[in-house]
Structure formats: structure tokens, C-alpha cells
Amino acid sequence: MEILVAAILTIITAATPLLFAALGELVTEKSGVLNLGVEGMMVMGAIVGFAAVHFSGSATVAIFASMVAGASMAAIFGVLVLVFHASQVPTGLALTIFGIGLSALVGQGMIGVAYDGIPQLHIPVISDIPVIGEIFFSQDGLVYLSIFMVFAVMWFMNKTRAGLILRAVGDSHDAAHAMGYSVLKIRFLAVIFGGAMAGVGGAYLSLAYSPLWVEQMTAGRGWIALALVVFASWKVRRVLMGAYLFGGISILQLHAQALGIAVPSQVMSMLPYLATILVLVIISRDRSKIKLNAPASLGKPFHASR
């Protein structure tokens, strides 16, 4: 039982950063923009969040700082892609490379600095209930925020007019423009939201998952988040499922080692990435599924003149 609880707790911490980043990217992609810079935005969120907590001592300040960092990175991308019509794929790749480099520069003085990790919820009595209390009532605030965001995004997408407009812009930007909606403004906001979410996802790594700064500590999670959006076929509920599934796979290595299973740790470390490739291959086999769910204007530049 103890092993199970420990496993679930690590799955949650492994899943949360993926969930944040994938939710943000889902909203961005639903508006028709493909931002491949998630990794870069996450890693910037991680270092800025870590630096903020180091200097201010406040986790709340750190979380907001990481959002701003992610959103600023996204804003660069947004301006390049939406205003100057740069091609989305290379711009996104460049953003990732830029983010990794810039975070290393900013984080030079942070290597080896210690931090206790953001505080966990503790409700007397309830949090002390064995198993249930440990799993549901003893998490840090970001875990609850990530779950809250799942429902918030779901509600926004399906129940609000703004969400409807966002989906419409992603489906056919020409039609949306003809109706008088500001395609670029809506897309820019979606890109910024995606950046802020990626930033928090990154901050979760440096504030809670392993509270310290290491260069490139996101270690490809941004790419997994991107794959998750496709895996979830752009549906919010499936992003939640997918994030926890991938979280589960990525902590397998820890528990396999703990249980003394003789598989080289390198192979275990590969698992989440192998799983990503495998899932994408399987999903891509059924092109009809992608075609029916993917935002029809995804990755296509919009020129208002036409």
C-alpha cells in the first residue's frame, strides 16, 4: 500500500507540469497557431520562477513571475508569427533553442542554490487520513491549480462565447475574419495564454518536482506536452488523462529501480519519449481521426488583406 501511495504521489508530480503545458498548447492550437516553443517557454518559466523565489522568498510571486516569463517568450513568438508572418514551425523551434540558451545564461548564479519546495496543503485531520488524505488533501497549490485549469479550460472552450470564437478562428480564419472577428488579436491572446501555462509548468519543475535549478531541467517535457495535445486529439479531458498516463510512465523508472528490477536505468529514462513516439505513430495511422478533430487552420498563416 505504501508503495502504491508513493507511486501515485510521484505520478501526480510528474503529470502536473505536462498538464499545465499541454493545456496551454491546446488553447493555442485551438486558435490555429502551432507553437513548437513549449520547451523553451517551460525552461524560462523554470528559471525565472526559481530566481523569483530565491530573491523574494514567496512562492506566489515566483509562480506569477514564471507566468510572465512564459508569456513574454510567447509574446515574442506571437509578434514574429502573427505580425511579421514568420513561418510557425521554424519560429517555434527557434524559440525553444533561444529559451534553453537564455535560461542557462540567467541561471548561471542559481546552480547549487537550495530551496525547500513550495508548501503543501495541510488541513488538520483531513490531510492526515491515510491514503485519501495523502493523495487528495496534501498536495501543493499548483497541483490543485492544474486540475482547476482543466475544468476552467473545458468550460471556457465549450460553454463561453469567447471559447466559441476561439474555436471558430482555429477552424477557418477567413470565415472568422469575414464576420468581423479580429483573428490576430484572438490568436495573440491564445498564444500568450499558452506561454503563461507553459511557464507555470516549467516553474513546477524547479519549485516542486525537484526544487533546484539545473540547466535544461525540462528535459524534453515541452515536446511531450506537444505530443500530448495530438494524443488527446485536441480534447481537454483527454489531455488530463494523457498527462497522468505519461506521468505514470515517466516515474516507472524510479519505482523499477526501487523494486530492484534489472533494467538499465538509461532504458527506463527513455520510456516517456519512446511512449511519445509510439503514441504519435499509432495516432497518425488513423488520419481520419486527426482530420476531424484538428483545428482546420492549424499552422496556417493569416493575412487580413485577403
Partner 1 sequence: MAQPSEYLLELTGMRKAFPGVLATDNVDLKIRPGEVHALLGENGAGKSTLVKMIYGILKPDAGEIKFNGKAVNIKAPAHARELGIAMVFQHFSLFDSLTVVENISLGMDHASSMRELAEQITEVSQRYGLPLDPDRHVYTLSVGERQRIEIIRCLLQEPKLLIMDEPTSVLTPQEVEKLFVTLRRLGEEGLAILYISHKLDEIKALCHDATILRLGKKVATVSVDKESTGSLAAMMMGEEMQAFQHPEKPILGDIRLKAKNLNMVAKDPLGISLKDINLLVHSGEVVGIAGVAGNGQDELLTALNGEHLTESGSIIIEGEQVGHLGPNKRRLMGMASVPEKRLGHGAMPDMNLIDNAFLTSYERLDFINHGFIDYGKTEQYANKVIKDFSVKTPNAEVPAASLSGGNLQKFIMGREFDQNPNILIVSQPTWGVDAGAAQTIREAIRKMASKGAAVLVISQDLDELMEISDRMGAICGGVLSSFYPIEEITVEKMGLLMAGVSLDDSVTDDVRDNANNDITNKSNQNAT
Axis crossing angle, helix 59-78 with helix 88-106, rounded to the nearest 10: 140
Query: By the 8 A CB rule, do 193 and 28 touch?
Result: yes
Work out how close the CB of 102 gets to partner 1 at its nearest, in angstroms, rounded to a whole number: 34
DSSP three-state, residue 263: coil
- The string of DSSP codes covering 183-242 is HHHHHHHHHHHHHHHHHHHHHHIIIIIS-S--TTTTTTHHHHHHHHHHHTTT-HHHHHHH
Q: Which amino acid is at 274?
A: L
Task: Give least dist CB 294 to partner 1, A.
Answer: 9
Only one residue has cell 477557418, namely 172
Cell numbers of 251, please?
Answer: 516515474
Select 189 or 254, whichever has its Cβ closest to partner 1: 189
Q: Which is nearer to partner 1, 174 or 215 (CB)?
A: 174
Residues of this chain that bind partner 1 (CB under 8 A): 161, 164-165, 167-168, 171-172, 174-176, 178-181, 287-288, 291-293, 295-296
CB of 90 to partner 1, least distance (A): 17
- Amino acid in position 186: I
Q: By C-beta, is 266 or 288 nearer to partner 1?
A: 288
**Of the two residues 259 and 291, which places its CB atom closer to partner 1 in the complex?**
291
Taking residue 120's Cβ as centre, other Cβ atoms within 10 Å add up to: 13
Q: Which is nearer to partner 1, 114 or 161 (CB)?
A: 161
CB 111 → partner 1: shortest distance, Å?
47
Q: How far is the CB of 179 from partner 1 (least distance, A)?
A: 6
Extract the C-alpha cell encoding 85: 508572418
Residue 125 Cβ vs partner 1, minimum distance, rounded to whole Å: 43
Could you tell me which of 166, 176, 188, 198 has the C-alpha nearest to residue 76?
188
Whether the Cβ atoms of residue 16 and residue 225 lie closer than 8 Å to each other:
no
Cell for 263?
533494467
C-beta of 141 vs 299, nearer to partner 1: 299
Least distance to partner 1 from the beta carbon of 229, Å?
16
Angstrom distance (rounded) from CA 118 to CA 60? 9
In the bound state with partner 1, the residue whose beta carbon lies nearer, of 72 and 172, is 172
